[in-house]
Amino acid sequence: MPARDGTISRYEGVEEVRRDHGEWIIDMHLPAPGKPTQPVEAGCMANAWARLRHPDFDTLRSILDDLGERIQVRAE
């Protein structure tokens, strides 16, 4: 989720995450820069989201935590 409402200006960390975890990413939705952010009330998947799979739950959870820490949605 972006840190504030506004217009999405860029994403940080996406290429690194794809490099490190790409084989486990099923799909990822990243609205194009220039799109308005959605309000918090729209839910956690209203702006950017990713779906992953991994045979080990603990590893999957670790990868999800890593995505949450490393991918930043920047809005202005």
In a domain, 54, yes or no: yes
In a domain, 2, yes or no: no
Q: Which range of residues forms the domain containing residue 34?
A: 8-75
In a domain, 41, yes or no: yes
Q: How many domains does the chain have?
A: 1
Helix (H) or strand (E) holding 21: helix 14-21
In a domain, 3, yes or no: no
Looking at the chain, the whole-number percentage of residues with pLDDT higher than 90 is 59
Query: Where on the phi/psi map is residue 21: left (φ > 0), alpha (ψ -120 to 50), or beta?
Result: alpha
The whole-angstrom separation of Cα 34 and Cα 12 is 15
Tokens linked to 52 = 């992953």
The string of pLDDT tens digits covering residues 38-70 is 876 776 667 788 999 999 999 999 999 999 999
In a domain, 68, yes or no: yes
pLDDT at 3: 64
Identify the band that residue 74 occupies on the pLDDT scale cut at 50, 70 and 90.
confident
Which amino acid does the sequence have at 61?
R
In a domain, 28, yes or no: yes
